[in-house]
């Protein structure tokens, strides 16, 4: 009798006695996914589950094998036909996030099949399925096996460490969970091979439970770990950075990293390095680094005895051999009177360009004040004569000479910024999400000097001149901001708006009672052409419709020729497959009396 059935009978018996079982506050099961450095597969994932409240655990951490800091998601499919769509789950995990890459969510599963995948670009093959079953009829527990691997001495003891791997299978409802217990400790979920390195005798118990609740008998594996004899001292490893340096100590154009390792015991077996948080790479010779910017080189070495050195680090910066300062200019906007003074306000716009290493920063100051980082046009509204200074610095450290513009501001004129509003339009679903795309229309008015131009930006993009409604088609939540500048140079406050774009629902099934035979069959004759869905829920057999009424066999053949011609044009059929279907239609006799010597009982011979 399965544990699930026992629980049901016990609850019924207690109810008959007038008693109740204690309420379970925790979900009935936990499903765990793990990820590592791979972009093609999850490190581990469940294949089956029971219906009901469930704790979902997604861990993408150093403990699960992610040593590169790569992000992954665990996302449940809510649109592909054939799967359950009642659970919305989209968890992003990174080894360095506040949860150290381990996240939990509680969901409610229903019987059926779920599909999950990773949404990170380039990780599209990270996908899988699991089945939720009530386990009815399955009373056979899973089969679970263990294997222990590692270096052995002549006595069969494992030297330094041993790795325990568990494998479970279940031909009934599927494996729900695998657990292990090391040296009498607590039962622990098994996500990946377990490395045991403490010296001495060890005992690993293990078991597995299927979706129906059947648990295998506990099994045990014994092994002994002994100390690795001889060399216990890790290698000594150092790094040096070479290249031409500027006055700031930065390397010009290229820095060459050389890693050196020594080991007086068993000797150096391997040297590795990684640059800027990338993957560990075998070191075979000096590494040239040419990308401009700050860099961090990490390095380590391992000796023949298996001792690994602590990770070392070297920081350095590469700059390009740019000796030309940026070119920086300024322009002044605003309303001017007959004497050339700016009425109410002058707006100074600074522009910088650098053809070498690129612009690193732009600064300005008003009337000899402190230098300030330039981020947007600078309004000068205090009446009187003013001088606005400006300068720019490139990535290589070259600073332009200070430029300046003189402006005189007089009172009066337009000092009021424009009024800006946004309107979002598009098809919406029941949750007010925009289906497929949304269009954002920006309107600005200024009753005084008039609107000069309008700008917008989507999410973290750059400010862009607005000339027509902005179409937002990327799926997900977005923030659209807008602002306007009038002829007098007044800039409005930013106006934000949020919207969410979701994928369009698939078209309705045009043939809910579809002919799903494997091949196209007409009048009992098999064309040997695959009977595929043509894209709207109908199969080729559906559109041929051999059971409809036709005035004659010739009329039926003309119908088949017409529909298959369209399927060839749509790329559903090849010309060769169309010829096979038309031939079978001619020989089938559908639509009229069969031709002499032919009939629905005859099979096509190719």
- 341 and 453 housed in the same domain: no
pLDDT > 90? residue 504? no
Look up the CATH number of the domain holding residue 184: 2.60.40.10
Task: Tell whether 507 is covered by a domain.
Answer: no
Task: Tell whether 598 is covered by a domain.
Answer: no
- 22 and 125 housed in the same domain: yes
pLDDT > 70? residue 597? no
| Rg for the chain, CA atoms, rounded | 36
Question: What pLDDT digit, counting tens, does each position of 172-214 carry?
Answer: 778 888 999 999 999 999 988 999 988 899 999 999 988 887 8
Task: Tell whether 603 is covered by a domain.
Answer: no
Residue 406 near residue 474 (C-beta atoms within 8 A)? no
Helix axes 553-569, 575-588, angle to 10 degrees: 170
pLDDT > 90? residue 2? no
pLDDT > 60? residue 8? no
- 490 and 392 housed in the same domain: no
The DSSP call for residue 183 is T
- 385 and 486 housed in the same domain: no
What are the beta bridge partners of residue 386? 407
Number of folded domains that form the chain: 6
pLDDT band, very low/low/confident/very high, at 25 (cuts 50, 70, 90): very low
The arithmetic mean of pLDDT across residues 520-540, rounded, is: 91
The residue among 410, 429, 452 that closes a domain is 410
> Which distant-in-sequence residues (6+ apart) come within 8 Å of 500 by Cβ?
433, 434, 476, 477, 478
C-alpha dist (Å) from residue 414 to 50, 159, 349, 584? 69, 84, 19, 82
Find the range with the poorest average confidence among 277-291, 486-500, 541-555, 589-603.
Answer: 589-603
- 42 and 113 housed in the same domain: yes
pLDDT > 60? residue 337? yes
Which domain, by its residues, includes 285?
236-319
The residue among 226, 248, 263 that closes a domain is 226
- 377 and 446 housed in the same domain: no
> Which distant-in-sequence residues (6+ apart) come within 8 Å of 40 by Cβ?
123, 125, 126
Task: Tell whether 158 is covered by a domain.
Answer: yes
- 23 and 118 housed in the same domain: yes
pLDDT of residue 120: 85
Handedness of CA 285, 286, 290, 295 (dihedral sign): positive
Task: Tell whether 562 is covered by a domain.
Answer: yes
- Ramachandran quadrant class, 11 (left: phi over 0; alpha: psi -120 to 50; beta: rest): alpha
The residue among 97, 132, 167 that closes a domain is 132
Task: Tell whether 99 is covered by a domain.
Answer: yes
- 359 and 467 housed in the same domain: no
- 400 and 481 housed in the same domain: no
Q: Tell me how far apart the alpha carbons of residues 70 and 101 are, in angstroms, rounded to a whole number.
A: 10
Q: How many CA atoms lie within 13 A of 92 on its CB side?
A: 8
pLDDT band, very low/low/confident/very high, at 487 (cuts 50, 70, 90): confident
pLDDT > 90? residue 56? yes
- 568 and 538 housed in the same domain: yes
- 397 and 338 housed in the same domain: yes
Look up the CATH number of the domain holding residue 103: 2.60.40.420
Task: Tell whether 311 is covered by a domain.
Answer: yes
- 219 and 287 housed in the same domain: no
DSSP 489-536: --BPPPEEEEEEEEPPPPPP-S-SS----SEEEETTEEEEEE--B-SS
> Which distant-in-sequence residues (6+ apart) come within 8 Å of 93 by Cβ?
35, 58, 59, 60, 61, 71, 72, 73, 74, 99, 101, 102, 103
Task: Tell whether 570 is covered by a domain.
Answer: yes
């Amino acid at each position: 009798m399965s544990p699930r059935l026992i629980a049901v009978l016990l609850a019924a018996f207690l109810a008959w006695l007038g008693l109740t079982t204690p309420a379970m506050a925790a979900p009935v099961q936990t499903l765990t996914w793990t990820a590592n450095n791979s972009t093609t597969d999850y490190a581990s994932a469940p294949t089956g589950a029971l219906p009901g409240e469930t704790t979902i655990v997604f861990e993408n951490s150093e403990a699960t094998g992610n040593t590169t800091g790569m992000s992954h998601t665990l996302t449940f499919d809510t649109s592909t036909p054939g799967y359950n769509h009642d659970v919305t789950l989209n968890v992003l995990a990174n080894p360095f996030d506040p949860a150290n890459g381990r996240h939990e969510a509680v969901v409610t599963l229903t019987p059926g099949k779920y599909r999950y995948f990773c949404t990170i670009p380039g990780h599209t093959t990270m996908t899988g399925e699991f089945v939720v079953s009530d386990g009815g009829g399955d009373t056979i527990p899973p089969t679970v096996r263990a294997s222990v691997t590692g270096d052995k001495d002549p006595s069969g003891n494992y030297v330094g460490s041993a790795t325990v791997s568990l494998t479970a299978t279940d031909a009934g409802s599927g494996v729900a969970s695998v657990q292990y217990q090391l040296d009498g400790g607590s039962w622990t979920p098994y996500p990946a091979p377990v490395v045991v390195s403490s010296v001495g005798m060890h005992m690993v118990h293990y078991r597995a439970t299927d979706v129906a609740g059947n648990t295998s008998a506990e099994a045990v594996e014994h092994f002994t770990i002994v100390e690795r004899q001889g060399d216990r001292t890790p290698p000594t490893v150092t790094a040096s950075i070479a290249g031409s340096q500027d006055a700031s100590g930065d390397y010009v154009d290229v820095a060459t990293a050389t890693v050196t390792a020594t080991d007086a015991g068993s000797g150096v077996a391997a040297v590795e390095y990684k640059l800027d948080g990338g993957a560990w790479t075998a070191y075979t010779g000096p590494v040239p680094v040419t990308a401009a910017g700050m860099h961090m080189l990490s390095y380590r070495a391992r000796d023949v005895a298996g001792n690994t050195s602590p990770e070392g680090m070297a920081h350095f910066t590469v700059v390009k051999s740019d000796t030309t300062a940026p070119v920086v200019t300024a322009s002044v906007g605003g309303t001017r009177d007959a004497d050339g003074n700016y009425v109410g306000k002058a707006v100074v716009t600074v522009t910088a360009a650098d053809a070498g290493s690129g612009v690193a920063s732009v600064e300005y100051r008003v009337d000899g004040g402190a230098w300030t980082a330039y981020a947007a046009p600078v309004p000068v509204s205090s009446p009187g004569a003013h001088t606005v200074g400006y300068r720019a610095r490139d990535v290589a450290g070259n600073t332009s000479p200070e430029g300046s513009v003189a402006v005189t501001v007089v009172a009066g004129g337009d000092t009021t910024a424009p009024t800006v509003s946004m309107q979002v339009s598009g098809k919406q679903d029941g949750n007010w999400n925009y289906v497929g795309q949304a269009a954002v229309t920006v309107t600005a008015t200024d009753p005084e000097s008039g609107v000069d131009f309008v700008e917008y930006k989507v999410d973290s993009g750059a400010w862009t001149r607005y000339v027509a409604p902005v179409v937002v088609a990327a799926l997900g939540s977005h923030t659209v901001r807008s602002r306007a500048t009038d002829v007098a140079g007044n800039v409005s406050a930013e106006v934000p708006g949020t919207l969410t774009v979701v994928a369009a629902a698939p078209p309705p099934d045009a043939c809910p009672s579809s002919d799903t035979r494997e091949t196209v069959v007409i009048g009992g004759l098999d064309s040997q052409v695959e009977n595929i869905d043509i894209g709207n829920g109908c199969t080729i057999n559906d559109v041929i419709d051999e059971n409809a009424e036709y005035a004659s066999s010739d009329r039926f053949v003309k119908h088949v020729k017409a529909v298959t011609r369209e399927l060839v044009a749509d790329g559903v059929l090849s010309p060769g497959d169309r010829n096979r279907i038309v031939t079978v239609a001619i020989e089938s006799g559908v639509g009229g009396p069969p031709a002499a010597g032919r009939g629905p009982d005859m099979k096509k011979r190719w």
